[in-house]
Structure 1
Amino acid sequence: MQSDTTRPEGSAIARGAVAIITNRHGDLLLHLRDDLAHIAWPAHWSLLGGGSDDGESPAEAITRELDEEAGLTVRNLTELFEICDEHGSGQLISFFAADWDGDETSLRLSEGVKLQFFAPEHLDALTIPPYIRDGIHRYLAVPPA
């Protein structure tokens, strides 16, 4: 796994995890965040995920977050790289790839406004946090085997 940040050894940094979830057509599942002033990136399309609990690994965090936010269990969960959300939460975010071929409208959404699959060529028209856009572009440039 690659990291885009350097930090002093022993320093504590808040962590989180997100998942780039694709279907068999190569579409990406995005999550429209609530429009609330107290959250990072309100009213932006993002990836499902969230902050890690104390002592929780990134893989444990993303598995828990997918279940909590959407009742979602994915296949082929693979850790990819880390990116710091410098202009939002400040967290070091672990990106994962996974696949799921269900109907996103059937998912139990507990946070946010909507879940929707988008073809990669339509992503440029969406309002997406910069670190998420960067992670998606990195994934699309060299998707996991």
Structure 2
Amino acid sequence: MHSDTPASPEPGPARGAVAIITNRRGELLLHLRDDLPHIAWPAHWSLLGGGCDPGEDPATAIVRELDEEAGLAADSLTELFEITDHRGSGQIITFFAATWDGDETSLPLSEGVKLQFFAPEHLGILTIPPFIRDGIHRYLAAGPS
């Protein structure tokens, strides 16, 4: 049967965005997530970020998420690559890089337990979601931009 109404497009996969934020010492800003059973990767160290709202692109989402979660406006926000969180949310996550040289303890954290800068050599002892660890390793292997 013929219809004059165009079929609505199928929604694409869920998307999200995270930011690898470094300071002038080369440390990375990580976010200790709440220990709540209904969130992906509870009680893990991760990057600031989150899911895209309906119709929102990852670049807009990361700016919104940084502001909402930590009142943070990072410098030189640059899109890097995408990784799918196969073992958690299932989202396609766009990674961004940025710099920020402030005191992380002064940020108004609205989600999670704490923010802390870590030197790359200390990341191995932290509990980090596999896709976030992969993204950080990929970023660090590429060297300074």
TM-score when scaled to structure 1?
0.92
2:84 matched to 1:84?
yes
Aligned length: 137
Deviation at 1:57, TM superposition (A): 1.0
Deviation at 1:143, TM superposition (A): 3.3
Rg (Cα) greater in structure: 2
CA distance in structure 1 between the partners assigned to 2:19 and 2:143 by the alignment: 13
CA distance in structure 2 between the partners assigned to 1:84 and 1:143 by the alignment: 22
2:26 matched to 1:36?
no
* Structure 2: 5+ residue stretches without partners: 1-9
* Structure 1: 5+ residue stretches without partners: 1-9
Q: The residue matched to 1:18 in structure 2 has which SS?
A: strand
TM-score when scaled to structure 2?
0.92
| Counterpart residue type for residue 32 of structure 1 | L
Which position in structure 1 is the counterpart of 2:126? 126
| Counterpart residue type for residue 141 of structure 2 | A
Which position in structure 2 is the counterpart of 1:113? 113
Which position in structure 2 is the counterpart of 1:96? 96
Q: The residue matched to 1:66 in structure 2 has which SS?
A: helix
| Counterpart residue type for residue 93 of structure 1 | I
CA distance in structure 1 between the partners assigned to 2:27 and 2:130 by the alignment: 19
Q: Which runs of 4+ in 1 moved over 6 A?
A: none
| Counterpart residue type for residue 39 of structure 1 | I
Deviation at 1:12, TM superposition (A): 1.2
State the percentage of identical aligned residues: 79
RMSD: 1.3
| Counterpart residue type for residue 49 of structure 1 | G
Which position in structure 2 is the counterpart of 1:73? 73
